[in-house]
A and B are shown apart, each in its own frame.
Chain A
Amino acid sequence: MTDTHTGPFIAAIDQGTTSSRCIIFDRDGRIVAVDQKEHEQIFPKPGWVEHDAAEIWKNVQDVVAGAMVKAGASREDILSIGITNQRETTMLWDKRTGKPVHNAIVWQDTRTDVLCKKLGGEIGQDRWRRETGLPLAAYFAGPKIAWLLDNVSGLRERAEAGELLFGTMDSWVIWNLTGGVNGGVHVTDVTNASRTLLMNLDDLKWNEEIAAEMGVPMQVLPEIRSSSEVYGTVTGGPLGGLLAGVPVASALGDQQAALFGQTCFATGEAKSTYGTGTFMLMNTGEKLIHSESGLLTTVGYRIGDQDPVYALEGSIAVTGSLVQWMRDQMGLIKTAAEIETLAMSVEDNGGAYFVPAFSGLFAPYWRSDARGVIAGLTRYVTKAHIARAVLEATAWQTREITDAMTKDSGVELSALKVDGGMTSNNLLMQFLADVLDAPVVRPMVAETTCLGAAYAAGLAVGFWENVEDLRANWRRAAEWTPDMDPEVRDREYKHWLKAVQRTMGWQDE
């Protein structure tokens, strides 16, 4: 029995889309204490989403203090602090007052659609894909900076005069933690910088040409650092009293942090996070792979001055949200978990396939003219068959991404590490293993995002020696092994792909 937590600990801050959290971990990677606070979602116009960065910073301080109290920990117990954050959310602040000059523009915000089309010009959305690994899409941070400078009066002049600093949420939190207006360090890590459309993937430096084309002055950009090193120490402010001198020692975008927390340190190891949508990342090692199949190329992580580790990323827009849709819009189930009960009341999908292309198809198709379909309907099909098709849709979409990853990387997936809310669905996890024809493994700590940030922060201060120490902490909570006749798998996949074809070209553009 090892149920008593004794320090030292590592604190991880997860500055997420809907809330900020702080989790304190012990050496075994076990959770000692959690505190969490939601922040306001601001919707000024359809398609626009903003956050108040000042509110977020206040919440971050509250949850760090809250977690410290719950853990009964003092400054001496906390060896370092790590940060993971919602990616791409963009803000500018005044370096003398420390005040944000506008609400942060959240990653989901689509206001830069038109700007991105314009920047693509005749080449289109792949204009800077070679350099940055990304398509010109509204998610990414660079065009959001340009939008702020061009649409909020006075900002461009102030930016060019060197008065403003840009940051994704990692930069904002680190700058404030390390002293803010009194010498706060203005840095970002390679994973967050790799989501700006402004960083070269090969040399991990800002691309001045792209910045100039986009209209982003170089002086607003933070210094790009590794994901795991001491950026500075906690200085001043309310947290200064509590944690003064504690090293701030990691930053990772949330999906990269989950990859790290799942200990996917070897080439070919992959994790998939099943939430509202799904994000899958595969470690491709020191090799930078340009996807031919519509995947993104991104930095997985970089530990100190070691070589960077790259990753391929595939995202699925609609997974958990399809179950919510069945509950809220269709009223076929009362709780999300009931989808499994309904689906299990039948043996198979009864010939029905559900492609939830609600807002187009993401990887590997990238078709914005696609819309959702339920294909293969006959008089025989019941709501239970549809429930089954709903779960199968998540698995087949994962299969399409893993196929694309295998094609791009030449590496066969040996096992898929999963996390997120949908991993409690046993039927889905089994079906996932069946259609991938690979084991699906769930780790014992569900909080892989925070854990990844803690791991990186602990490595930087020598709390853990190396990634092998971290691997030793990884515990298998469950494993689903494939158990499907290959003929059935092939037949079902063919049907799925046929159903996907039916979604395309629905929306006139």
Chain B
Amino acid sequence: MAKNIQSLERAAAMLRLLAGGERRLGLSDIASSLGLAKATAHGILRTLQHEGFVEQDPGSGRYQLGAELLRLGTTYLDVHELRARALVWTDDLARSSGEAVYLGVLHQHGVLIVHHVFRPDDSRQVLEVGAMQPLHSTALGKVLAATDPVAHAELVDAKREPFTARTVTELDEIERTLDLTRAQGYAVDNEETLEGVAAVAAPIYDRRRLAVGAVGITGAVERVCRDGELRPELIAAVRDTARSVSRDLGAKPF
């Protein structure tokens, strides 16, 4: 590496300094330890403080490591934890909507189904936990691609197979759909993956407002659509469920 960014190097040195031995240090201690002008040190500290990596004790004015830094190592949400938190809400969604419920997360190049609640009729159904769904055509996939940049990159790179006459494979058109998904807070799959089957899904957020998964229902178009559109009460039920699970994960409304 030819040239490093000096201010980042200095910020890293400050964090190391605060992480070692004495935990709270004043501005002048920090500046002199690192051989920096006070104003320079203060500028960097203020930026770190803004990002939550450093906190300033209001009484003494001394600096210490911030809570955000401690959280960095533990942001990964276990998918089984996600399922356990979603269980009650997804059962209720299946019951109120009368349709099968799926919970999906990004995994490699697609959507991994981590939880599946049967459609509440007495028909034979097979548990689809562990199955993969495509990103570009399914409601779950579109929600993930619209809310998670990594999923978006996967979608752009993926081979977008036309499953039905309605499957959208053109990137420009997909991007417009994703914009719409972000704006309205849900995505629809109207016979784009399977003939005769429609779905609607909404994003699940964690306490940092990062999208960690998507939840949705899937069913026969005759039941879930009216005049060719997803029934609004089903959309509302899915979004309510997504909000409830997000709230259980600690996400604040804003």
A interacts with B? yes
Say yes or no for A475: interface residue by CB 8 A criterion: yes
Give the residues in chain A near B127, CB-CB below 8 Å: 478-480
User: Judging by beta carbons under 8 Å apart, are A341 and B96 in contact?
Assistant: no
Contact of B91 among A1, A3, A341, A444 (CB under 8 A): A444
Contact of A337 among B78, B92, B97 (CB under 8 A): B78
Say yes or no for A507: interface residue by CB 8 A criterion: no
Tell me how far the C-beta of B232 lies from the nearest C-beta in chain A, rounded to whole angstroms. 10
Cα–Cα, bound, A335→B115 (Å): 18
Say yes or no for A338: interface residue by CB 8 A criterion: yes
Cα–Cα, bound, A338→B84 (Å): 10
- Contacting A at CB under 8 A, from B83-124, are 83-84, 87-88, 91-92, 94-98, 115-118, 120, 122
Say yes or no for A340: interface residue by CB 8 A criterion: yes
- Contacting B at CB under 8 A, from A320-363, are 334-341
Cα–Cα, bound, A334→B127 (Å): 27
SS class of chain B's interface: helix, strand, loop or mixed? helix
Say yes or no for A152: interface residue by CB 8 A criterion: no
- Given that A1-B97, A1-B231, A444-B94 are known contacts, is A477 also in contact with B117, CB under 8 Å in the complex? yes
Cα–Cα, bound, A1→B234 (Å): 8
Say yes or no for A445: interface residue by CB 8 A criterion: yes
Say yes or no for B129: interface residue by CB 8 A criterion: yes
User: Judging by beta carbons under 8 Å apart, are B129 and A337 in contact?
Assistant: no
- Contacting A at CB under 8 A, from B63-86, are 74, 78-81, 83-84
Interface size class of A (residues with CB under 8 A): 20 to 34
Say yes or no for A2: interface residue by CB 8 A criterion: yes
Tell me how far the C-beta of B164 lies from the nearest C-beta in chain A, rounded to whole angstroms. 26
- Contacting A at CB under 8 A, from B218-233, are 231, 233
User: Judging by beta carbons under 8 Å apart, are A337 and B80 in contact?
Assistant: yes
Tell me how far the C-beta of B114 lies from the nearest C-beta in chain A, rounded to whole angstroms. 8
Give the residues in chain A near B87, CB-CB below 8 Å: 424, 446
User: Judging by beta carbons under 8 Å apart, are B96 and A2 in contact?
Assistant: yes
Say yes or no for B31: interface residue by CB 8 A criterion: no
Contact of B78 among A341, A425, A477, A480 (CB under 8 A): A341
Using CB atoms, name the residue of chain A closest to B120.
A475
Give the residues in chain B near A426, CB-CB below 8 Å: 80, 83, 115, 129
Cα–Cα, bound, A478→B83 (Å): 13
Cα–Cα, bound, A475→B96 (Å): 12
Give the residues in chain B near A2, CB-CB below 8 Å: 96, 98
Known: A334-B78, A337-B84, A446-B88. 11 other contacts (CB 8 A): A1-B98, A2-B96, A3-B233, A335-B78, A336-B84, A338-B80, A444-B117, A445-B91, A475-B94, A476-B118, A477-B94
List chain A positions with a Cβ less than 8 A from chain B.
1-3, 30-31, 334-341, 421, 424-426, 444-446, 475-480
